[in-house]
Amino acid sequence: MKERLTDKIEDGWESFINGIGRGILIQLISEEIDPATRSGKSAESFVRGWLPKPSNNPYIVEYGADFVVPRDFGCPGAILISNFHDKEFFLVESVVHGFSEGPIFFRADTWIPSRKDNPESRIIFKNQAYLPSQTPPGIKDLRREDLLSIRGNGKGERKLHERIYDYDVYNDLGNPNKSEDTVRPVLGNEDWPYPRRCRTGRPPTKKDPFTETRVEKPHPVYVPRDETFEEIKQNTFSAGRLKAVLHNLIPLIAAKMSSSDIPFTNFSDIEKLYNEGVLSKEEEQKAVKMNQILANVMNQLLTVGDKLLKYDTPAIIKRDRFAWLRDNEFARQILAGVNPVNIQLLEELPILSTLDPAIYGPPESAITREILEKELHRTTVEQAIKEKRLFILDYHDMLLPFMEKMNSLPGRKAYASRTILYYTETGILRPIVIELSLPPTPSSPSNKRIFTHGHDATTYWIWKLAKAHVCSNDAGVHQLVNHWLRTHASMEPYIIATHRQLSSMHPVHKLLHPHMRYTMEINALARQSLINGGGIIEACFSPGKYAMEISSAAYKSMWRFDMEALPADLIRRGMAVEDPSMPGGVKLLIEDYPYAADGLLIWSAIKEMVTSYVDHYYSQTNSVKSDVELQSWWDEIKNKGHHDKRNEPWWPNLATNDDLSGILTTMIWVASGQHAAINFGQYPFGGYPPNRPTLMRKSIPEEGDPDYEKFLHNPEYTFLTSLPTQLQATKVMAVQDTLSTHSADEEYINQLNDIHRLSFNDPEVQELFKRFSTKLEEIEQIIHQRNKNIKLKNRNGAGVPPYELLLPSSPPGVTGRGIPNSISI
């Protein structure tokens, strides 16, 4: 969907519509060399006006052009398109008829700029994959020329019509020109390492030559032209934004009327967000009277229907309103929630920190053998460790260095946390001990507090507050590390390198193409309003203005490409052991670990498909090693895209088919299955603030505190006023709702067969994608069966939602299922 043709008439496109022609010049380039010019034989022709061919699609028109070529012209391998119109147009494909090979397809799916903007012709290659050494002689030079034009020269500010891919550091998150408070460090250097982003070349700020000036909404941030959202996607994203405006109206009005942003004071405050919607009719009329601008927004939105005024009930409270209070649900979400990637096997005691003891105090955790054995009842710690029944959720070392900074922010109170979980003989995981730590002070050199479940009312409420602090840490690590850093930010350099170093006819470029869709655009939008200084993540998550510093510190201490492979990650965390007979080559310690169990099925299917694909194109010995484009691509990913990690010893080699299959499987898994598992559950799990508060505003009360008596008198009030305020919560809910929404034009992993059919003319390759689709249909059935299995208590039981995040297919909307091919939201 581009724009309706009737709109173009009013837009001065009469010549286009009326078919005067001569607006588009096409050159046909042969795969064979012309001895006279030493380049591919060529023939050219302008399009011949309007081709009145009925089309079912109101957004597509067809043009024809006639060519006369000599009998020995050979087979066309490329076409060159020049656009003499004043405006760009979107070229879907060209089909050349009249050669003995039958119709020859040139899939384009690209914007062709006006020659006024870019005098160079656009090169489109036919639907045939060639390794560099196999390129037909007539189009060899064009292959090189096309890559050079995409790389640019690294100078000047990029313009929106360009398609230049280049690298830069994250130097556009802060805004020193605005105020001291919006200054942020540049990420992508020795102090703050980070993956690279797409270079935009905007000028530096006046106050800091190392920070790039920002582009604020509604103005677009540059991404290469073909990376931008199409209209359907844009409309879905914008509807999400409008919903966010509406959802924030009432809390905003309320906040203006009171001295500060107001907290939730009882559970019915929260339930009103879903049951009655955000605005009652009376409040709506008051709001309309209060502000005419708001009135206009309201009128526009009310035509969309009442749904916009209401949050859908999140899945977590739909079946069981009180599940989130229970320990077994807290533990279930560590295996089957939106962040199932941090739990580790506890292999020994004492638990030791790797932080500098001179700054952070003694390395030993306060969780001792005695404390654990009290909670284990008849089992000894040695026995539990030997039987691999003790697990840990450990955010101590990641967060403790930031505690002082975080707790100095207004309205934030956080601790670095460790949570010990016990896996019972009946197959239930339950939390038994929580340790919350602050940096040591002269008065308390070991500033650690221990919490256990307890059976009296006071201990029970304190335990609930401790769990909420753990959930808040989990929400921050999930968003900043596992979601943003390990999928979005890490993927961008692979995309940039693929365009810069692999020709669009390279088989690896063709394979990765569907897995790169919309990622650069969504990342640019995130830098504009989500992860920027003063953006939504800072406003609503515990780390506040230090959020991206935590993300950078995690990149430095834990990110490694080889561990982004699902089996390797599970083994690293002690959640699986090697077993060649099982999917993914690993056996899970906890069989009922829905994310890992379903993820390994998807991982294995991707690996099988990628291995067959690589073996098909790299059938000669040493063909991986001798592929110049491929080697440049991998070098650039390591040395430019992940420049701050370039000297790490763990980067995989790229010499054999197995090496290449492993690298590509990891990239495709991160873009598809991994991102789906940690993104599309955000609203279903986080849309109810008490279940996953994104920040905590109060410390846990202790005897002797001035607030301790208040807590004893009204623990519910203490609990709720510790959570995000109404405005913070509704802001996050609106964002999570948008991020959990599948657009109507989403492309899912089970549709790869249809998507690739357009860009491959090789029946063997088409057969391989067909097998992959069939495999995914089988996996979908297996997942449905698992969700019905009463033995699997983490995905089945009274009020327990099924685990569907890794089901390949999905309808549009917030569905809590579906694996898109790419990180598109």
How far is the C-alpha of 726 from the C-alpha of 490, rounded, in Å? 33
**Residue 483 catalytic?**
yes
First to last CA, the chain: 19
Produce one character per residue of 385-414: b if its CB has 16 or more CB atoms within 10 Å, e if not: beebbbbbbbbbbbbbbbbeebeebeebbb
Beta strands in 310-415 (DSSP E): 344-345, 390-394
Place of tokens 């929106």: 160
Beta carbons of 123 and 138 less than 8 angstroms apart: no
**Residue 825 catalytic?**
yes
- Identified catalytic residue from 469, 643, 675, 756: 675
Beta carbons of 372 and 381 less than 8 angstroms apart: yes
Beta carbons of 747 and 812 less than 8 angstroms apart: no
Beta carbons of 609 and 593 less than 8 angstroms apart: no
Q: What is the DSSP string of 83-106?
A: E-SSS-EEEEEEEE-SSTT--EEE
Identity of the amino acid at 706:
P
Identity of the amino acid at 316:
I
Residue 824: strand, helix, or coil: coil
Produce one character per residue of 511-537: b if its CB has 16 or more CB atoms within 10 Å, e if not: bbbbbbbbbbbbbbbbbbebbbbbbbb
Which CA distances in Å does 79 have to 30, 90, 196, 206?
9, 15, 33, 46
- Identified catalytic residue from 396, 483, 506, 643: 483
Beta carbons of 569 and 340 less than 8 angstroms apart: no
How far is the C-alpha of 594 from the C-alpha of 317, rounded, in Å? 20
Q: What is the DSSP string of 698-746?
A: SPPP-TTSTTHHHHHH-HHHHHHHHSPPHHHHHHHHHHHHHHTEEPTT-
- Cα torsion 440, 445, 446, 449 to 10°: value is -70
How far is the C-alpha of 636 from the C-alpha of 633, rounded, in Å? 5
How far is the C-alpha of 598 from the C-alpha of 792, rounded, in Å? 13
**Residue 488 catalytic?**
yes
Residue 109: strand, helix, or coil: strand
Q: Comparing C-alpha atoms, which of 567, 664, 565 is closest to residue 612? A: 664
- Identified catalytic residue from 171, 679, 794, 821: 679
Place of tokens 């001895």: 35
Residue 21 zone, left/alpha/beta (φ > 0; ψ -120 to 50; rest): left
How far is the C-alpha of 200 from the C-alpha of 222, rounded, in Å? 6
Q: Comparing C-alpha atoms, which of 466, 423, 415 is closest to residue 439? A: 415
How far is the C-alpha of 271 from the C-alpha of 317, rounded, in Å? 10
Does an H or E element contain 587, and which?
strand 586-588
Q: Which residues are catalytic?
A: 483, 488, 675, 679, 825
